[in-house]
Structure formats: structure tokens, C-alpha cells
């Protein structure tokens, strides 16, 4: 297969670097591959580069996906991640070139969301529809489903699985997705369970890092903001631990520091980590600055602690000025004031590209869980 990309001929951006395309293309297969690169100038100072890659899949086409549910980041090994990213790239081509597919025609997905969501819910629904499937949706199941009448999660799952082929669920309790999966006879995808995990966000985050930086081994990542309550950073830390020579910096207010279970897990996997109070120093060293918002909804009535934490670490032009030219700023969104709006114009602001990548990862997961490789 061949991939072509056109970028401004700017030597300071990772996307204009030939190594970026070569590294990314070589990561498409964990088995045999051959590749060659060509480049030629275009008008306006742009350069078109194409890499032709021949790959042999790690998992044979049509074989069953080895996971029955997607509940936590620990489920994935490097080979599976690489192959999921292959499928995500195929989904990207489907979305961009044909506008959709019919491979999931006849399948129904239920989205069961007990907490607010924009990107996750809509990207899952878009993913299902772009692959020919249909969607049954509950936007605020906590208030507008039988949960408001006292129905247990287990009873809700037993009922909903009778109407659909797969359930995507967000819940306010950590561990709820595991309970749902234990109950259901159809696939369950965890779209976030309280302060627990958000595995599909972590998948799209790692996919985005691969696309933006061109590698996953040997990178430095700064996790910034609400690390105690942020399920996205927890899941991302689990996935980053699967790669070699990764270093993770934790930058957060004292009241929302990363919990010990993640630190212990990283240490057990030989991953170097460091806590720092100096965002500028960390940003100058990192390939990825992963900013998160301080989550007011997790503080309950302790508004004093929320006010103590918010606004302490903000990514602005001063932070961009110390970042390396190839580095990127990521954010799971929504943002409040932790990234200033003027950062959006910088090519290193990757968070909206990151959100779009969520569509391709979720298309890939739906395809794999319902019809296999």
C-alpha cells in the first residue's frame, strides 16, 4: 500500500520531517515489510512525500478479535495496539475517500451514558453510522433512564443487550464497566467510568502520538493538571508503560497528584517517572505536553480545594516558547482555561487532530469487536 502526504517545507515541524513519515509507515506492521520513500517539490513551498509499504498482518483477515470487551488499558499488548492502529488507518481512508462503508450494516449499537459527553458519544455514533450500522442512544441515563427509578446497572444491561449488538457505556462509578461486562453477553466498551479508566481515549492518544511524533519508544511525556481524578491520564500511563525508554513527568497541584497505584505500576514495568512543580522546565524536555482540566465535578462540596487547584498550570505562549519544535500539545477536551485560545494557531497544538483521531480508533474497535480482523 502507498501513503502520500503533503506538508509545508518547514524543517522545524515533525510532519515535514522525512523521518516522521518513514517511522510511522514502518510501524504499520509488526511482521515483514518493505518500504521506499519518494519526494518532490510542489508550488508554494510545499513538499509531497510518499512512502510505499508492503505489510503482512499480524492477525489474519477475518479472524476473531481476541478481546470480547474493551474495559481497561491493561488489556492491550504492543502487537495488538499496532494492529489496531493499522485498522484505524484503514478506517481513516474509508472516511476520507469514500465517506463510509457498509461492513456493519445490520448491527445496532447502544450508547448508555450516565455522565455528560460530547466527543466520545458523538464519535462513537459517527463511527457506527460511517460503517453502515445503526445507533440507539441515551444521552443522560442517570436522569432519563430507569436508573432514576432505582434500577440496578446489571438489570439495565440485561435489558439493553436485548435491543442491540454492542453497548458503549459511560458511568460515574469506577468499576462500573467491569460489572457491565460481567453481566452482558454482548461486547461492552468502557467510555469512561468515573475516575477509573477511559481506554478508548488512551488508544486514540497513543495513536495520535504515533502520528504526530513518529515513534512511541524513547519519548518523554508530561502529564499535566488533574492527575488524581483524570481517567484519561491513568489509562494513557498504562499504555505508555508498554513502550521502551519512555519517561513520564507528572505536573499537578498538590491536591490532585497522580495516585500511587499508577506510580507503582510504572515502576514495576521499569518506566522512569518524575514529579515536578515546574511546567516550563518539563515542557522544554518533553515530546508531548498532555494537559488536562481540573475536574470540578470530582470535588463535590469541597469548592475550596477546586479553587486551590484550578489555574495553577496553564499552557500559553510562554510554554510554547520553551517547547521543542517537534513537540506537541495534547488535551482530551473539553478545555476551560488551562490552554489559552491563542495556542490553537500553533501547529504544535494537536488536540483537535487528536479528537478527530478518536473517530478512526472507534471505527476500528467497532469493526473488530463485531466482525473481527
Interacting residues of 50 by C-beta distance below 8 A, sequence separation 6+: 2, 3, 4, 5, 37, 38, 39
233 close to 206: Cβ distance less than 8 angstroms: no
User: What DSSP assignment string belongs to 191-232?
Assistant: EEETTS--HHHHHHHHHHHHHHHS-STT-EEEEES-TTT-HH
Q: Measure the CA–CA gap between 281 and 276, rounded to whole angstroms.
A: 9
Q: Measure the CA–CA gap between 225 and 293, rounded to whole angstroms.
A: 6
The three-point CA angle 162-163-167 to 5° equals 90
Among the listed residues 170, 179, 231, 310, the single catalytic one is: 170
159 in active site: no
Among the listed residues 198, 247, 310, 362, the single catalytic one is: 198
119 in active site: yes
Among the listed residues 15, 49, 111, 120, the single catalytic one is: 120
91 close to 364: Cβ distance less than 8 angstroms: yes
Among the listed residues 119, 257, 265, 356, the single catalytic one is: 119
170 in active site: yes
105 in active site: no
Q: In 10 A of CB 335, how many CB atoms?
A: 17
Q: Residues of 261-283 as b/e, b for ≥16 C-beta within 10 angstroms?
A: ebbebbeeeebebeeeeebeebb
183 in active site: no
Q: In this structure, what C-alpha cell is assigned to residue 278?
A: 515546574
- Which residues are tagged catalytic? 119-120, 149, 170, 198
Amino acid at each position: 500500500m502507498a501513503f502520500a502526504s503533503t506538508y509545508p517545507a518547514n524543517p522545524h515541524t515533525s510532519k515535514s520531517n522525512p523521518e516522521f513519515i518513514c517511522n510511522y509507515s514502518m510501524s504499520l506492521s509488526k511482521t515483514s515489510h518493505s518500504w521506499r520513500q519518494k519526494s518532490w517539490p510542489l508550488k508554494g513551498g510545499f513538499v509531497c512525500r510518499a512512502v510505499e509499504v508492503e505489510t503482512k498482518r499480524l492477525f489474519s483477515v477475518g479472524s476473531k478479535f481476541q478481546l470480547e470487551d474493551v474495559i481497561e488499558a491493561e488489556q492491550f499488548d504492543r502487537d495488538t495496539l499496532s494492529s489496531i492502529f493499522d485498522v484505524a488507518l484503514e478506517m481513516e481512508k474509508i472516511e476520507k475517500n469514500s465517506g463510509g462503508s457498509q461492513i456493519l450494516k445490520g448491527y445496532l449499537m447502544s450508547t448508555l451514558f450516565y455522565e455528560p459527553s460530547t466527543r466520545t458519544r458523538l464519535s462513537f455514533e459517527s463511527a457506527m453510522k460511517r460503517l453502515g450500522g445503526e445507533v440507539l442512544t441515551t444521552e443522560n441515563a442517570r436522569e432519563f433512564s430507569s436508573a432514576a427509578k432505582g434500577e440496578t446497572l446489571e438489570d439495565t444491561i440485561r435489558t439493553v443487550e436485548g435491543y442491540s449488538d454492542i453497548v458503549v457505556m459511560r458511568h460515574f462509578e469506577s468499576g462500573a464497566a467491569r460489572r457491565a461486562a460481567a453481566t452482558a453477553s454482548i461486547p461492552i466498551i468502557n467510555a469512561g467510568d468515573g475516575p477509573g479508566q477511559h481506554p478508548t481515549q488512551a488508544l486514540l492518544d497513543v495513536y495520535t502520538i504515533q502520528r504526530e511524533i513518529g515513534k512511541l519508544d524513547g519519548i518523554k511525556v508530561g502529564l499535566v493538571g488533574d492527575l488524581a481524578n483524570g481517567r484519561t491520564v491513568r489509562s494513557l500511563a498504562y499504555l505508555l508503560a508498554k513502550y521502551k525508554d519512555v519517561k513520564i513527568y507528572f505536573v499537578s497541584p498538590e491536591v490532585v497528584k497522580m495516585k500511587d497505584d499508577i506510580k507503582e505500576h510504572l515502576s514495576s514495568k521499569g518506566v522512569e517517572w518524575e514529579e515536578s512543580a515546574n511546567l516550563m522546565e518539563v515542557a522544554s524536555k518533553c515530546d508531548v505536553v498532555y494537559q488536562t482540566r481540573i475536574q470540578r465535578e470530582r470535588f463535590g462540596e469541597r469548592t475550596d480545594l477546586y479553587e486551590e487547584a484550578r489555574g495553577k498550570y496553564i499552557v500559553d505562549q510562554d510554554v510554547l516558547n520553551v517547547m521543542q519544535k517537534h513537540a506537541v500539545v495534547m488535551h482530551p477536551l473539553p478545555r476551560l482555561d488551562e490552554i489559552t485560545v491563542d495556542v490553537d494557531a500553533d501547529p504544535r497544538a494537536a488536540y483537535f487532530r487528536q479528537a478527530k483521531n478518536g473517530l478512526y480508533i472507534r471505527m476500528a474497535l467497532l469493526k473488530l469487536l463485531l466482525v473481527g480482523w
